Amino acid sequence: MALSIDFTYLDQMISPARRREIAPEILAAQKTLLGKSGAGSDFLGWLDPAALNSPGELSRLEACAERLAAQSGAVLVVGIGGSYLGARAAVEYLVSPLYNSIPKKTPDLWFVGNDVSASHLAEVLSACRGQEISVIVISKSGTTTEPAVAFRVLKKELARRYGGDAASHVVAITDRARGALLAMARAEGYETFVIPDDVGGRFSVLTPVGLLPIALAGVDVRSLIAGAADAASFCASPDFDSNICLQYAAARNLLLRAGRSVELFCGWNPCFTMTAEWLKQLFGESEGKDHKGLFPASAAFTTDLHSLGQFIQDGSRILFETVVSIGEDTASLSVEAEDGDPDGLNYLAGMPLGEINHRAERAVAMAHRSGGTPSIILTTPSRSAYEYGWMLYFFEFACGVSGYTLGVNPFDQPGVEDYKKNMFALLGKPGYEALAAQLSNK
Ligand code: PA5
């Protein structure tokens, strides 16, 4: 098991016996998920990570990453939501949150098309001046406005730089059969990868959507998939007492029923910041419907102890924390003794920063529990691709089980579609005239 769970800082509020009491409900939700008998069951392709990519497609993906790396100093990854967050989260977690600034043999990666900011796109282009560039454009629907607008700007840049050879600098990842992006890819001759029909955006990190950019950063994507595949066997067990994924789902559902409406995902390393963003999308889009669900938020510790810390300790009692602790970091630094002890820190002499961080984790969990904010602590041994794949799947499965326990369809996102349609209408997209008229009457 590549992840462990500690309920020490929750037990006072939600006892093990209470969690056990709702095991039948949680097991029923797990059965619905695995039996593909619930709402949204057309979108369960992610349940089997080993089957998501055929061996041939995985080898082609790795070859494509090598080709792009050989021809580019920087690769611009265009996508939004599920077509962006997983890749960026994995690169920052597994390589570095400072990925573009560290010495490396792999190309810089810039994530664009996840906003409509002119200055952001212009700044990225200016950062790539003097480097050869390629573009990976990712959109399942092939019509989302933000990435489509960014891609149109980038196509111009590629044509200016590479003329008739521009198409060899583009890879498109989209639906197998429909959408403007697919039509463009066919017309221009871009290399393409398919987003499986039965995988929604926020569950797509282990499809080419996440894997191609992650492979470009030099990560062993096969280990990532192997971790997720092992987690899949683990999470499928109906033994509630040993299945920590089911226990986590039980705890968070009970916390919601007890009036804790915000789940704060807390990391203790900046490498986790974008993974927390991925978690916010995963749980927010999956559970936040029919006026139900936990609101997912995040905090980076110890940084945010100096901003949100006061509220967590002593503000409205609406929160609980899900903490992700990393056993061993990728670097080790220690506090050294200094003559005269000018800053009074010699009591820490010889202590690794990792140990200081771990002691801070415990100190904070104790303080927050005394203040009335409970925590669930998940610990992953290290920052390896295998363990990260395991953790991603753990959260995806917990999300599916939690959503069914809550009584929502965890696999659609009607709220996201609503804003997309309104945006088309207000921008004057053909076919949206009636909606535009309705909106202008409002
Ligand atoms: O999870 C989802 O389905 C959404 O967040 C989508 O990923 C996001 O809206 C982007 O959609 P698309 O890939 O169609 O451009």
- Which residue out of 31, 280, 420, 429 is catalytically annotated? 420
Q: What is the pLDDT of residue 436?
A: 87
What is the 143 CA–ligand 1 centroid distance (Å)?
10
Contact 413, 41 (CB under 8 A): no
* Weakly modelled stretches of the chain, pLDDT under 50: none
Please report the pLDDT score of residue 370 as a whole number. Answer: 95
Per-residue pLDDT, 63: 98
Q: What is the pLDDT of residue 172?
A: 98
pLDDT in the model for residue 247: 98
- pLDDT at res. 427: 86
Q: How many CB atoms lie under 10 A from the CB of residue 362?
A: 13
Q: Of 285, 287, 361, 387, which one is the catalytic site residue?
A: 285
200 lines ligand 1 (CB under 6 A): yes
CA of residue 26 relative to chain centroid, distance: 24
pLDDT for residue 434: 87
Residue 345 φ then ψ, to 5°: -100, 5
Q: Is 400 in the pocket of ligand 1 (CB under 6 A)?
A: no
Let me know if 420 is a catalytic residue: yes
H or E segment to which residue 213 belongs: helix 208-216
Q: For residue range 343-383, what is the model confidence (pLDDT) as tens digits?
A: 999 999 999 999 999 999 999 999 999 999 999 999 999 99
- 277 annotated active-site: no
133-156 pLDDT tens trace: 999 999 998 889 999 999 999 999
Identify each DSSP E strand in 71-209 by its residue range: 74-78, 108-112, 133-139, 170-174, 191-194
Ligand 1 within 6 A of 144 CB?
yes
